[in-house]
Amino acid sequence: MPLRATPVPDLAAILAQPARVTDIPVEALPALLLHLGAEHHRLATVETAVAARLAALPSPPPEVARAPYTLAEAATLLGKSRAWVRRQARLGRLPGRKVGKSWVFPRDDFDRARRRVHLGA
């Protein structure tokens, strides 16, 4: 009896819903691993090319590079909610200021405060 080729599962569907791996027949798993290895190699090649292009870009002007953090960026950096960061800035615990209706956080001062003090809830 001739061996039947096991079809390779749809990688895009598996990446979109990793739990679907449990639905794949055991005999298809070796083919899936080979497919994943090849895709991993291709992604690493793309990652290297993208990194090389970014490294070749000119540096942004200092005023762009040091633009203040937005409220959303500050909250993400601290792992806190926007409301928590806004409240800390109002209380003077974070170096921020209101510009119009938005809060901004000067990068140098904000980064220094993050390093100096462990900001807890």
Protein fold of 63-116: Arc Repressor Mutant, subunit A (1.10.10)
**Would you state the pLDDT for residue 74?**
94
Q: How many CB atoms are closer than 10 A to CB 14?
A: 17
Which helix (H) or strand (E) is 116 found in, with range?
helix 107-116
Boundaries of every domain in the chain: 11-56, 63-116
Mean pLDDT (the chain, rounded): 85
Closest CA to 11 of 22, 21, 23, 1: 21
Under 8 Å CB-to-CB from 59, ≥6 apart: which residues?
65
Kindly state the average pLDDT of the residues 49-66.
Answer: 78
Confidence check: pLDDT of 120 > 50: no
